[in-house]
Amino acid sequence: MSETKSGIEKSRYDYHRSILLESNASHDPFAMADQWIRDAELEGIQDFNAFNLVTNGLDGFPQSRVVLVRGFDHHGLLFFTNYESNKGKELAADEKVGANFFWNTLERQIRIKGIARKVSVQESDSYFKSRPRESQIAAWASMQSNVMTSRTELENRVTEYTTKFAGVEVPRPEHWGGYRIVPNSFEFWQGRPSRLHDRLVYHVDEDFNWFIKRLNP
């Protein structure tokens, strides 16, 4: 029987959408990251605000998963999750994280390193109230990262909390809320032909001044 290959080895695509030079890069990495996220939204990319969050696992191995950024400004990147999930436990043990945005049609990515800390109760409450009711119920029903015996177990908890909060506002569970990643490093990557990509890295000094370095592709 002949072996069928997937085509991974021969997959090739030359990047040519744009360029990234120091002359067209902002001196403010927050402003530049915000613009690139807006560009992804204008491009019509589904989940343009999705990024890969990397934490230090309790077993010593890095852990990664895709989450959605729900706020971005000079204070950092805001996302929400279950504090009792694996990522919540990992963040409680080690605040250092990595974040990676990738938009294939724009041939761009942003890599960020920083510190993730819980936001205030008020900020978590405010965002929770903005969520669809079904998502609010899900925050109560899902024992995120815990093993289930079957999907029926989860569906039964959804029914339980739907009944419990029928006719009233769904409160935010204490185990659910936000984190803000405060960056100390940004890398902006723009794909270029022949794999000669543009890479600009922003580092912050002890006086909170940002400076740029160009890296080899």
User: For the segment 7-24, what is each residue's pLDDT rounded down to a tens digit?
Assistant: 888 888 889 999 999 999
* Overall average pLDDT of the 198-213 stretch: 94
**Distance in angstroms (rounded) separating the CA atoms of residues 100 and 51:** 5
End-to-end CA distance of the chain: 41
- Is it the case that residue 80 has pLDDT exceeding 80? yes
User: Domains of the chain by range and CATH?
Assistant: 22-132+175-214 (2.30.110.10)
Q: Where are the alpha helices (DSSP H) in 69-212?
A: 86-93, 121-130, 133-141, 151-164
Indicate if 192 belongs to the active site: no
- Residue 29 to residues 41, 45, 186: CA-CA distances in angstroms? 18, 22, 7
Among 32, 89, 65, 53, CA closest to 180: 53
Task: Specify the pLDDT at position 3.
Answer: 60
The pair of structure tokens assigned to 190 is 């723009």
Task: Write down the catalytic residue from 151, 195, 199, 214.
Answer: 195
Rounded to an integer, the average pLDDT of 178-182 is 98
Residue 117 confidence (pLDDT): 98
* Per-residue model confidence (pLDDT) at position 1: 45
Of 150 and 10, the structure prediction assigns the larger pLDDT to 150
Q: Tell me: the pLDDT tens digits for 116-137?
A: 999 999 999 999 999 999 999 9
Please check whether residue 43 is in contact with residue 102, taking contact to mean a CB–CB distance below 8 angstroms.
Answer: no
**Confidence label for 5 from pLDDT (cuts 50, 70 and 90):** low
- pLDDT of 48 strictly over 90: yes
Average pLDDT, the chain: 95
